Homo-oligomer: A and B are copies of this chain.
Amino acid sequence: MTKLAPPIRVTVWSEFQHEKNNPKVAAIYPDGMHETIAAHLSGSEGLCVATATLDEPGHGLGDERVNNTDVMLWWGHLAHEAVDDVVVERVHQRVLAGMGLIVLHSGHFSKVFKKLMGTTCNLKWRDEPGDREILWVTRPGHPILRGIDDHFVLPQEEMYGEYFDVPEPLETLLISSFGGGEVFRSGMTWARGAGKIFYFRPGHELYPTYHDRNVLRVIENAVRWAAPTPPPKPVGYGRRELGWTESRK
């Protein structure tokens, strides 16, 4: 007899602005990018998926929701500044306590990602029209790359170029090249506290990137990789015998 693991509770957060205001984007993602991603993940065994967006009360990220999320995805672009600092602080604390965080595309400039990185998260970029993007695997055997060939191609995407101002990652999984000869570290991992973080570059709103099977597979793999392991608890032996104090607030 087999014990099944409890499902991984996923919240796909997106600002959901372009889709409401730009018919080109709405044509690609009628219900929003978050729903396209969530629909894919919902079909994957062992994942329990919800969505949340900027315009919901508290951006849909109240205490209960955040505390019951194992892995959060974050897409933002126009409205980074509109995200309430209280929510940013809540998500940040939850990551340090073990929640996985997958930051997508222009989410590189979100408040919570900048707070976790400690850097500007700047990069180079090019306006439309899009470039062909080739993503090359640089860490074979990593769980996030399960089922991915040694490279895959997105026919049209927005160019992002180095230097991408983030701390040296734990692992560099994917590097992209663009039509103009630029390069970008498109898949990187970090640990912050007990939480795992994955940044994944593709996902400009004007292209059907989140319908691409390789992109969806990377995201799905990343959700499973980022699922939390409960952090260790301080135990009595130490406290009694060794006399230390924890400075955790």
A residues near B, CB below 8 A?
A: 2-4, 45, 96, 98, 109, 115-120, 122-127, 132, 134, 136-143, 145-151, 153, 159, 161-165, 167-168, 170-172, 175-178, 180-183, 185, 190-196, 228-235, 237-238, 241-249
- A245 contacts across to B, CB distance below 8 A: 124-127
Inter-chain contact B162/A175, CB cutoff 8 Å: yes
Q: Is the interface of A mostly helix, strand, loop or mixed?
A: loop
The one of B122, B125, B237, B248 in contact with A122, judged by C-beta atoms closer than 8 angstroms, is B248
Number of this chain's copies in the assembly equals 4
Inter-chain contact B193/A120, CB cutoff 8 Å: yes
10 closest pairs, A vs B, by CB? A141-B194, A140-B231, A180-B242, A149-B235, A116-B118, A124-B244, A140-B194, A150-B232, A118-B118, A177-B177
Complexed CA–CA distance, A126 and B180 (Å): 20
